[in-house]
Chain A
Amino acid sequence: MPPALQPPLRDPDALRRTGWALGALLVLWPLLLIAEFNPADLFDARNLAVMGGFLGQFLPPNLSGDFLALVLKATIETLAMATAGIALAMLLAVPLGLALTHSLSVSRIGPGPDQGLGEFLRVLARFALLILRGVPELVWALLLVRAFGLGPAAGVLAIALTYGGMLGKVYSEILESGDTRPARVLLESGGGRLMAFFYGLLPGAGQELASYTIYRWECAVRASVIMGFVGAGGLGQLMDQSMKMLNGGEVSTILIVFLLLVLLADAISVFLRRLLA
């Protein structure tokens, strides 16, 4: 090889990488200042005493039979709300996410006919997902409570809308980040978009899709609690009442139930990943 064609003995990307790292630090520092983040406050003796007093109210947890029955009913309501919400969210997210996925685009091969139309539909899908997840679920809930009245129905739809937006976006990103060649090859031999997904992408991405969906279900359980505060029922509403009555023992029982639910979600996720491995 002539000397001119030999690559230099120095990493040509080093300068660029250092630049990006320094730039990120320069941006982060003022952001911390704006957010008034001062870790020392956390360990100030007076603040510690106040926090300790607050936490002290939560002990012992209220484990009386009557209250546990209430908690059980509210837990089931919360689980139903989160599960129904995620199921509806998937109905939104799967078609939009698949529409967004470049590696499932037939018109990009070549590029072939209708490429403009395909790109236009992808932009529409991206925009729809943006609006869905751009509005916080609490705002959706406040809006929908006016249509459906107080109760879980508003919460379910609010979760479906916001989480549909999140799931759709992340589904398409998961699908793009794996090996997309199998799907592309199926499209190149005349297969349809949906079957290219099932035969080409799902075997590789199934685990990732399932565990992300379960994680979002876990988030939906927490979100449904917050929406309970605005009257959407479930554990949130119960917690709201306990807080208003300054009943720390009841609040801590509900918090323990949350921890158990997160643990449950984790177990389901591990189980599903093992099943799909």
Chain B
Amino acid sequence: MGFELDRVGLVHANGQAQGQRALRAVSIVAARGERLAIIGPSGAGKTTLLRILATSIRPTEGRVSVLGAHPWQLGAGELRRLRSRIGFIHQAPPIPPRQRAITAVIAGRLGQWPWWKSALSLLYPADIAGPRDQLARLDLADRLFDRCDRLSGGQLQRVGVARVLYQRPDLLLADEPVSAMDPALADLAVSQLHSEAQSRGVTLVASLHAVDIALRWFPRVIGLKAGEIVFDLPPAQVSDSVLRDLYASETALPSQDSEPFHPHVEHAQEAAGAARASVAPPRVI
């Protein structure tokens, strides 16, 4: 009842990336309650992989099965019900700046509530305790009625996490969920995702730039590079050399006019060692 990807591939059909291959022959089987971290360099296809699991893009090759269903064989109504059971934490929280935190969190249940309940909640929230409890888990309960444009990047990211926790999904996908948080808050947020996964048997998949968080928290770590799976290991077996290979840049070949340093090695060490290096908070547009 987790998910199953069978030789999934994606070639962009239109837009700027037309013809570019984002994923190649990705096969992953995850059971209910399993917790996976996906790591890899920028542009490796981590977000694409998560969006395929979220049924927001249809792969061009291979088979997808999510929560026991084949999403692209479902009718419109069934697909919508399936999607309401999948939670997706976005790196840049998709929350309008003029919305209050409570409304942003309540929006997590739009797929489950009848439309009139959602509509009335715009006038007066149908549930106040629920959103407050989820924000409290992330140490943000005091901002319940604040507008989201008053929040910092890290606070907004926590509102985005609270929305998905409030949704109570059966499959929890997280794309760089803690990139704008300081180390202590990042740990808090990841621990909450884990307790949610463990207490309710939720399958959790998170892409992470912070390799140390991935190794510390997740029983299973998948390395993705140039759209392909490089390794699928328990964290104890993810050695420094495995990480160096993962983050080694393919395009940075040692140049002819030999520079005194090796850019690809340096890049890899930086990524593996200090991957926690603070990332600028995402800008809200």
Please give the residue numbers on chain A whose beta carbons come within 8 Å of chain B beta carbons, in ascending order: 1-2, 5, 106-107, 109-114, 179, 181-182, 184-186, 188-192, 194-196, 198-201, 203-204, 206, 276
Q: CA of A198 to CA of B71 in the docked complex: distance in angstroms?
A: 26
Query: Do A182 and B110 contact each other (CB < 8 Å), given the known contacts A106-B80, A110-B57?
Result: no
Q: Say whether B84 contacts A189, CB under 8 Å.
A: yes
A196 contact set on B, CB distance < 8 A:
110
Near A by CB (< 8 A), chain B positions 1-58 give: 54-58
Q: Say whether A112 contacts B76, CB under 8 Å.
A: yes
Q: Say whether B94 contacts A182, CB under 8 Å.
A: yes
Query: Do A191 and B107 contact each other (CB < 8 Å), given the known contacts A179-B96, A181-B94, A204-B97?
Result: yes
Nearest Cβ on chain A to B95's Cβ, whole angstroms: 6
Number of A-B contacts (CB under 8 A): 102
Number of interface residues of B (CB under 8 A): 45
What is the chain A residue whose CB lies nearest that of B117?
A: A195
Q: CA of A206 to CA of B98 in the docked complex: distance in angstroms?
A: 10
B79 contact set on A, CB distance < 8 A:
112-113
A200 contact set on B, CB distance < 8 A:
94, 96, 107
What is the chain B residue whose CB lies nearest that of A180?
A: B94
Q: CA of A2 to CA of B57 in the docked complex: distance in angstroms?
A: 34
Q: CA of A179 to CA of B71 in the docked complex: distance in angstroms?
A: 27
Q: Does B65 contact A (CB under 8 A)?
A: no
A198 contact set on B, CB distance < 8 A:
118-119, 122
Q: Say whether B119 contacts A185, CB under 8 Å.
A: no
Indicate which residue in B57, B98, B112, B122 contacts A190 across the interface (CB closer than 8 Å).
B112
Q: Does B115 contact A (CB under 8 A)?
A: yes
B85 contact set on A, CB distance < 8 A:
190
Q: Say whether B110 contacts A195, CB under 8 Å.
A: yes
B223 contact set on A, CB distance < 8 A:
none
Q: Say whether B94 contacts A191, CB under 8 Å.
A: no
Q: Say whether A188 contacts B98, CB under 8 Å.
A: no
Indicate which residue in B56, B107, B110, B111 contacts A109 across the interface (CB closer than 8 Å).
B56
A188 contact set on B, CB distance < 8 A:
54-56, 83, 88
Q: CA of A276 to CA of B147 in the docked complex: distance in angstroms?
A: 13
Q: Say whether B58 contacts A190, CB under 8 Å.
A: no
What is the chain A residue whose CB lies nearest that of B255?
A: A2
B285 contact set on A, CB distance < 8 A:
179
Query: Do A189 and B86 contact each other (CB < 8 Å), given the known contacts A114-B76, A204-B96?
Result: yes
B56 contact set on A, CB distance < 8 A:
109-110, 188
> Closest 7 CB pairs between A and B?
A190-B111, A190-B84, A191-B110, A203-B96, A190-B83, A185-B94, A203-B98
What is the chain B residue whose CB lies nearest that of A1?
A: B251
What is the chain A residue whose CB lies nearest that of B86?
A: A189
Q: List 11 A-B contacts (CB under 8 A).
A: A2-B253, A5-B251, A112-B58, A185-B88, A186-B107, A188-B88, A192-B118, A196-B110, A199-B110, A200-B96, A204-B98
Q: A190-B110, A195-B119, A203-B97 are in contact. List 14 more A-B contacts (CB 8 A).
A: A106-B76, A112-B58, A112-B76, A113-B75, A186-B107, A189-B88, A189-B110, A190-B82, A190-B112, A192-B118, A195-B118, A200-B107, A203-B96, A204-B98
